[in-house]
Structures are given as C-alpha cells and as structure tokens.
Amino acid sequence: MKRNVVIAASVVLFHIAALWALQNGLLRRAVEIIVPAQILSEFIAPPAPQVTPPTPAPPAPVKPQVVQKTAPKPLPTPVPVVTPTPAPMPQPVQATEQPPAPARAAPAQPTAPAPVAAAPAPPRVELPTSAADYLQNPKPPYPALSKRMGEQGKVVLRVLIGVDGTAQRAEISQSSGYDRLDQAALTTVLRWRYVPGKRGGVPEAMWFNVPINFVLE
C-alpha cells in the first residue's frame, strides 16, 4: 500500500511539475536548447584579376626615299642632206574654148491676186414701233393733280417688245421730273400694242425707246 501511494504521489507531483514548467516556459527553453541551430555559410568568390591591355609599340619612322635625277642625254645633231632639184618639165600648150554664155531667164510676170470673196451683208434690222394706225393705242392720261399743279415734261421709257408685239418689261430711261407723270407714262406703254422688231425678216425681241410728252394746253 505504501508503495502504491508513493507511485501515485510521484505521478501527481510529476504532472504538477510539468504544468508548472509549461506555465513558466521551462519546457519551451528546453526544446529550444535541444533543437540544433542551423549553420549558414556563404562562399565569397575571389575578385577577378585585372588585365592590363598591352601598350602598342610606336610605329617605326618611315625614311623618305631619295630619287636620283639623271640628266637627259643630248640629242645628236642632224646632218643636212642635199638633194638635187629636178628641172621643171615644159607644160604642153592646150587650146581653150570659151564656154557659151548662159541664156538669160525671162522676167517673171506678176501674178494677179486671187479675188477675195465679198463678206456677206449683215441682216437688215427693223426696230419695233407703236405708231401704226391699226394698233389704235390711246394717249396716256394726264393726271388731274398734275394739271392743277402745272406739272409737264418729257418721259423716255425703255420697253422690251416681244415677238408677239406685247410689252414684256418697261423702265424709265429719262424722267420728266415728276413722279406722277412718270408713273402715268409707264402704265400706258405697258398696255400698248407694238409691231415687233425684225432681224433679216424674222421677228425678234428687242428693246425700244418710247418718248411721251406731257404738255399743258
């Protein structure tokens, strides 16, 4: 019984000591002491030896070549050679004939100029007119206010006459000095009938000046 009690007490004490060691960190220190430390080693390569490039030897000086000039040899003096001159041979006398005189060419006669074709005559132009009796165009009315005011004068109207004899456009070329007289003349010529202008006998639209006099009697 005592032996069992001692063993049980020993186990309990061991557990109590183990718990106390865990609380105080003794077991952790023992583990750290048991774990071997790793040894780190690094190989350091020795520095590479510095290679000094060889210094090139200076080029050898070039000696100038000396060219020896030789004096030109004198040319031999030519010896004159005398050759006999042959006597001139007599020339045979030949009879010569005078060539006949060339015949004179007859003087060239002036040629008559070619006849020039006459230019065609321009076509005949007939201007329009408003004075034909069969037209029966009335006289322009004299404005009553112009009569009382004593207004009078000459109006020249530029009228475009169509191929059918009607006035297509009209504009005042010369004013009488009074707007009432100008407007009365403009209204009148636009209502008139005309004989159309012709070019070469063919009716054609033409501009035509129509004078109108306003005179108080």
- Residue 9 belongs to a domain: yes
Helices (H), the chain: 2-24, 26-34, 144-149, 179-191
Which of 10-19, 31-40, 52-61, 112-121 has the lowest average pLDDT? 31-40
Q: What is the pLDDT of residues 24-82, one digit of tens each?
A: 665 455 444 444 444 444 445 555 556 565 565 666 655 555 555 555 565 655 554 44
**Domain tally, the chain:** 2
Write 114-123 long-range contacts (CB < 8 A, 24+): 123/199, 123/200, 123/201
Cα distance between residue 89 and residue 132, in whole Å: 117
Confidence of residue 156 (pLDDT cuts 50, 70, 90): very high
Q: Residues 121, 201, 204, 161: what is their CA dihedral angle, to the nearest 10 degrees?
A: 120
The whole-number pLDDT of residue 203 equals: 93
The average confidence (pLDDT) of the chain is: 74
- Residue 90 belongs to a domain: no
CA angle 156, 168, 152 (to 5 degrees): 25
- Residue 197 belongs to a domain: yes
How many helices, marked H, and strands, marked E, lie in the chain? 4, 6
Q: What percentage of the chain exceeds 70 in pLDDT?
A: 56
Residue 215: pLDDT over 90: yes
- Residue 170 belongs to a domain: yes
**Cβ atoms 181, 151 nearer than 8 A:** yes
- Residue 43 belongs to a domain: no
The whole-number pLDDT of residue 123 equals: 87
The whole-number pLDDT of residue 185 equals: 94
The whole-number pLDDT of residue 179 equals: 95
Domain that holds residue 205: 125-214
- Residue 27 belongs to a domain: yes
- Residue 58 belongs to a domain: no
Confidence of residue 8 (pLDDT cuts 50, 70, 90): confident
**Cβ atoms 185, 170 nearer than 8 A:** no
State CA 212 to chain mean position distance. Answer: 58
The identity of residue 111, as a single letter, is: T
CATH value at residue 185: 3.30.2420.10
State CA 161 to chain mean position distance. Answer: 48
- Residue 71 belongs to a domain: no
